[in-house]
């Protein structure tokens, strides 16, 4: 019985994390498919040029990455929270962020602007407009 209770106390935080990740993932899909994000990320790419800001690579696809991750209170539409990364650097950075979050080195939470965006998506026409 003691073992079962110990296991239950370990499982609960994991279940909570899974729900959080699902919520976050769903919200991010809406963000990354939005006209606002496409317009903003295209402008950032155009202004900064086709170059990975971490390793300098100029070949291949570049991702517009959130320096402070969205699930770590990162501002979703703030250009100073964006960097252009090649596929390899983006994968490394994303894995590192996930590991830091898992270890508790990053706080799990969503920036108020992203919450507002989510409400806007949930209530089309009523949400705030971002430039």
Residues touching Zn ion, count (CB under 5 A) = 6
Q: Which of 44, 57, 68, 116 binds Zn ion (CB under 5 A)?
A: 57
Q: Is 64 among the residues that bind Zn ion (CB under 5 A)?
A: no
- Our CA dihedral for 58, 64, 67, 69, rounded to 10 degrees, sits at -140
Nearer to Zn ion, 51 or 79 (CB): 51
List 40, 86, 101, 106, residue binding Zn ion (CB under 5 A): 86
Q: Which two tokens mark 5? A: 């209770």
CB nearer Zn ion, residue 54 or residue 68: 54
Q: How far is the CB of 88 from Zn ion (least distance, A)?
A: 6
Nearer to Zn ion, 57 or 98 (CB): 57
What residues have CB less than 8 Å from 73, skipping those under 6 apart? Answer: 107, 109, 110, 111
Which residue, among 96, 89, 124, 129, has the nearest Cα to 113 in the 3D structure?
A: 129
Query: Considering only residues 7, 29, 42, 55, which one is a binding residue for Zn ion as defined by CB under 5 A?
Result: 55
- DSSP, collapsed to helix, strand or coil, labels residue 47 as helix
């Amino acid at each position: 019985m003691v073992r079962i209770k110990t296991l239950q106390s370990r499982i609960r935080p994991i279940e909570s994390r899974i729900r959080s990740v699902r919520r976050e993932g769903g919200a991010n899909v809406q963000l990354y498919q939005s006209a606002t994000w496409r317009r903003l990320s295209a402008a950032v790419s155009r202004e900064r040029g086709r170059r990975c800001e971490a390793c300098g690579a100029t070949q291949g696809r570049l991702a517009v990455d959130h320096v402070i991750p969205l699930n770590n209170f990162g501002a979703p539409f703030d250009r100073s929270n964006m960097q252009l990364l090649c596929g390899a650097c983006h994968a490394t950075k994303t894995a590192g962020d996930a590991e830091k979050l898992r270890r508790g080195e990053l706080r799990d939470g969503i920036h108020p602007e992203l919450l507002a965006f989510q409400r806007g998506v949930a209530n089309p026409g009523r949400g705030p407009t971002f430039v």
